[in-house]
């Protein structure tokens, strides 16, 4: 059933004491198991939320399908949802204007972290990429308001919707294809920290860049030297930033399409006094095993794997995976070498990650000195009340 476009809350959802306490504690999600009354509420409705005694707690977006039934959008009654969303988008844009530097590519809205649950908008120069992750955000009236506000404030040449079929399935939304919502341009170039990248809005399963790593690229470049290895390089984000500072750079990824774009990106940035980057298509685990047993040595190694822990259940296996990678990298670093190691799994805490590194260094018989403990770029804000908004860890360390 398609979501009903509702502008003001005409339904009320009552929460269990545990659900109400979550909201009183500052979180914005309530799970279905804590919804006491709420049957037959249309998917994607704007709802008034109360505790079990009927005391108002605010206004939320309701999902009839997700385990997260309630996403709080305001502590107050809301009478005009499209107007509220337009205000929030304008506020998210001015937040970036104050904090984002050296780029024309950044996350414009980051869902809960911008009080816009289920709306992610990325900007790549003159193109915008929109992801809609909840029933309420999928309604026609909300889509119209969102596109109108983005158009007014950012004047993009085009707006593309990127569809993740799994998300639509979880939210019981009808399948849609990724497509243009406005304009006709689908390719552009963007820049970060003075490095240029290609962007194809409608190609591949994940297009665009890992914008959350933008500030970590610049940080890594400060310490990188000598021979560098960028493992899980995707379209070359770290490798391209290292090239001006290193004598040799090798990027490794298992995705050939990603490496093809990486090579085109390298051509965009090539300078005579810089090494040509070598791209290797390989499984990172196999390659690191081969290289470390044949005693290859590097001065700078980047590890930026995909999320190994998709849920809490995967924690132990994920930590073993991280440890294997980090152990091998540590063995391959020359004294004075730099390790830049990342995890984008929310379920791995900063403490888990550091403990894994400590134990890898011990096993590799190396000493690690922490240079920087970093996280996601400022355009991916972290809401302290909503721990799920903090997910990226990036440790930069010197090895001896
Ligand atoms: N460092 C990149 C982002 C990495 S995303 C950047 O800053 O842009 C993770 C990458 O790991 C993806 O490109 C994916 O293709 C690659 N990948 C996943 N599993 C892999 C494996 N076993 N071996 C090598 N690459 C892998």
Summarize pLDDT for 42-65 with one digit per residue, the tens.
Answer: 999 999 999 999 999 999 999 999
204 lines ligand 1 (CB under 6 A): no
Average pLDDT over residues 120-132: 98
Q: How far apart are CA 78 and CA 57, in angstroms?
A: 12
**Tens digit of pLDDT for each residue in 295-329?**
999 999 999 999 998 888 899 999 999 999 999 99
Ligand 1 centroid vs 234 CA: distance in angstroms? 5
pLDDT class for 206, splitting at 50, 70, 90?
low
Does the C-beta of 233 come closer than 6 Å to ligand 1?
A: yes
What is the pLDDT averaged over residues 340-359?
96
C-beta 237 within 6 A of ligand 1: yes
Q: What atom of ligand 1 comes closest to residue 210's alpha carbon? A: 8
Q: Degrees (nearest 5) of the Cα angle 139, 140, 141?
A: 95
Atom of ligand 1 nearest to the CA of 258: 13
**2 versus 336: which is more confidently predicted?**
336
Tokens of 219: 């940080």
Q: Give, for ligand 1, the residue of 208, 305, 342, 394 to mutate: max count of ligand atoms closer than 8 Å to Cβ.
A: 305
Residue 192 banded pLDDT, cuts 50, 70, 90: very high
pLDDT at 2: 44
In this prediction, residue 203 carries a pLDDT of 77
CA-closest residue to ligand 1 atom 22: 283
Q: How high is the mean pLDDT of the chain?
A: 95
Task: With a cut of 50, say whether residue 93 has pLDDT above it.
Answer: yes
375 pLDDT above the threshold of 50: yes
Going from the Cα of 283 to the center of ligand 1, the distance in angstroms, rounded, reads: 9
Per-residue pLDDT, 10: 82
Percentage of the chain lying above the pLDDT 90 cut = 92
Q: What is the mean pLDDT of residues 184-191?
A: 96
User: If you average pLDDT over residues 72-100, what whole number do you get?
Assistant: 97
Checking if the pLDDT of 4 tops 60, the result is no
Burial class of residue 375 in the structure, from the number of CB atoms within 10 Å of its CB (0-12 exposed, 13-18 middle, 19+ buried) = middle
This prediction has a pTM of 0.95
Q: If you average pLDDT over residues 350-363, what whole number do you get? A: 97
Q: Does the beta carbon of 110 sit less than 6 angstroms from any atom of ligand 1? A: no
Q: Is the CB of 381 under 6 A from ligand 1?
A: no
Ligand 1 midpoint to CA 95 (Å): 30
φ, ψ for residue 252, nearest 5 deg: -125, 130
d(CA 148, CA 399): 51
What pLDDT is attached to residue 39?
Answer: 80
> Is ligand 1 within 6 A of the CB of residue 255?
yes
**Residue 5 above 60 pLDDT?**
no
Chain length of the chain:
400
Does 6 score more than 60 pLDDT?
A: no
Active-site residue, 246 included: no
Angle at the Cα of 336 from the Cα atoms of 397 and 232, rounded to 5 degrees: 50
For the cut 80, the answer to whether the pLDDT of residue 399 exceeds it is yes
C-alpha 305 to ligand 1 mean position (Å): 5
Q: Is the pLDDT of residue 208 over 90?
A: no
pLDDT the model gives residue 207: 66
Residue 258: CB within 6 Å of ligand 1? yes
Mean of pLDDT values over 336-356: 97
pLDDT at 1: 42
* Protein residue with its CA nearest to atom 16 in ligand 1: 232
Which pLDDT tens digit goes with each residue over 386-398? 999 999 999 999 9
In the set 233, 246, 342, 344, the catalytic residue is: 344
* Nearest of 290, 280, 300, 193 to residue 232 by alpha carbon: 280
Residues 223-250: tens digit of each pLDDT: 999 999 999 999 999 999 999 999 999 9
C-alpha span between 74 and 67 (Å, rounded):
20
pLDDT of residue 319: 96
**CA trace torsion 178, 382, 6, 183 (10° rounding):** -30
What is the rounded radius of gyration, in angstroms, for the C-alpha atoms of the chain?
Answer: 23
């Amino acid at each position: 059933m398609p979501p009903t476009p509702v502008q003001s809350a005409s339904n009320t959802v009552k929460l269990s004491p545990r659900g109400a306490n979550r909201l009183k504690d500052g979180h914005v999600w309530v799970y279905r198991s804590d919804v006491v009354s709420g049957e037959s509420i249309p998917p994607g409705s704007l709802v008034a939320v109360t505790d079990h005694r009927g005391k108002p707690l605010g206004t939320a977006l309701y999902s009839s399908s997700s385990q997260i039934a309630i996403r709080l959008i305001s502590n107050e009654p809301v009478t005009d949802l499209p107007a509220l969303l337009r205000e929030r988008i304008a506020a998210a844009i001015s937040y970036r204007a104050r904090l984002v530097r050296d780029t024309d590519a950044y996350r414009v809205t980051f869902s809960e972290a911008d009080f816009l649950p289920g709306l992610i908008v990325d900007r790549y120069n003159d193109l915008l990429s929109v992801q809609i992750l909840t029933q309420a955000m999928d309604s026609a009236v909300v889509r119209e308001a969102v596109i109108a506000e983005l158009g007014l404030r950012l004047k993009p040449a085009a707006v593309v919707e990127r569809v993740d079929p799994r998300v639509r399935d979880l939210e019981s939304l009808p399948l849609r294809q990724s497509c243009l919502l406005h304009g006709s341009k689908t390719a552009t170039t963007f820049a970060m920290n003075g490095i240029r990248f290609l962007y194809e809005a409608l190609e591949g399963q994940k297009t665009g860049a890992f914008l959350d790593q933008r500030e970590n690229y610049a940080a890594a470049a400060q310490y990188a030297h000598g021979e560098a290895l960028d493992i899980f390089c995707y379209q070359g984000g770290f490798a391209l930033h290292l090239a001006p500072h290193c004598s040799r750079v090798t990027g490794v990824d298992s995705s050939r399409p990603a490496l093809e774009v990486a090579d085109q990106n390298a051509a965009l940035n090539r300078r005579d006094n810089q090494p040509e980057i070598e791209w290797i298509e390989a499984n990172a685990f196999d390659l690191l095993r081969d290289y470390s047993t044949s005693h290859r040595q590097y001065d700078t190694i980047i590890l930026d794997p995909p999320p190994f822990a998709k849920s809490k259940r995967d924690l132990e296996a994920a930590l073993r995976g991280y440890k294997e990678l980090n152990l091998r990298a540590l063995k391959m670093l020359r004294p004075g070498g730099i390790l830049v190691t990342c995890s984008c799994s929310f379920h791995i805490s900063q403490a888990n990650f550091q403990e894994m590194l400590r134990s890898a260094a011990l096993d590799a018989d190396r000493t690690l000195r922490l240079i920087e403990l970093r996280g996601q770029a400022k355009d991916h804000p972290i809401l302290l009340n909503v721990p799920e908004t903090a997910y990226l860890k990036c440790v930069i360390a010197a090895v001896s």
